[in-house]
Copies of this chain bind each other. A is one copy, B any other.
Amino acid sequence: MSTSRGGNGRRTAARGTYAVGDERRLRILDAAVEHFAQWGFHASSLARIAKDVGITQGGLLHHFRSKESLLVAVLEHSDEQDVERFFGTEPASAAECFTTLTRLASHNATRLGRVKMFNVLLAEASNPGHPAHAYFTRRNSEVLRRMTGSLRRAVDSGELKPDADCPAVAREAIAVMDGLQLQWALDPEGVDMVAQFRAYADRTLRAITVTGRGLPA
């Protein structure tokens, strides 16, 4: 099996070794989540990540040609799973939109390492030179665009009051989610992130629905 150090691994892997290569790739991604969560991007080291996986740095570079490309792969891998699971279908109403976000909060409450990593990288990425700056900028505006669209359709359908400020509600919901993740990561035992988000979603829906109805039970 011949591979170039700069390649992405999958392209050059010989037939029959795919499974082994994919399994190793996933183990590298898992280890990278923990390292980025603990050290941030700048202080993380490919050598130490490789050591944790039990491979050489050359072995790691076979899959990811730089720390930047490993970072992007970690973020995209994580998002791919979420998009399919939570945003595969367009929500039929604002209530369904907030229900989906509450389910996402529940799911996040089962993966502390991933949430810690997300918190650290999102904070670091405010610097335009950060390798995840473009990713988080694009992701934020995409989430905002989709959620604003769902809320606007709910205004049109008569579910939400005509004066509901859809972009502001969408941005606020994202802020609550991100802010609760910061508090929960600092004190996972003391903060009930899911109950807090559910209470927020319920009160917000009551304030903007025509019927005054909140989150479905």
Chain A residues proximal to chain B, CB less than 8 Å:
37-40, 42-43, 116, 119-120, 122-127, 133, 136-137, 140, 165, 168, 171-172, 174-180, 182-183, 185-187, 191, 195-196, 199-200, 203-204, 206-207
Copies of this protein in the complex: 2
Chain B residues, CB < 8 A from A42: 39-40, 42-43
Q: Which of the residues B137, B171, B178, B207 comes within 8 Å of A196, measured between beta carbons?
A: B171
Chain B residues, CB < 8 A from A176: 172, 175-176, 179
Contact B199 A183 (CB under 8 A): no
Q: Which of the residues B124, B140, B172, B182 comes within 8 Å of A178, measured between beta carbons?
A: B182
| 4 closest A-B pairs by CB | A175-B179, A179-B179, A42-B43, A126-B185
Chain B residues, CB < 8 A from A43: 39-40, 42-43
Q: Which of the residues B125, B140, B172 comes within 8 Å of A200, measured between beta carbons?
A: B172
Chain B residues, CB < 8 A from A175: 175-176, 178-180, 182-183, 196
CA distance A171 to B200 in the complex (A): 11
Contact A171 B187 (CB under 8 A): no
CA distance A200 to B168 in the complex (A): 9
CA distance A186 to B191 in the complex (A): 26
**Contact A126 to B119, CB < 8 A, known contacts A175-B182, A196-B171, A207-B203:** yes
Chain B residues, CB < 8 A from A133: 186
**Contact A123 to B182, CB < 8 A, known contacts A172-B176, A176-B176:** yes
Chain B residues, CB < 8 A from A38: 127
Q: Which residue of B lies closest to A177 (CB)?
A: B179
CA distance A137 to B189 in the complex (A): 12
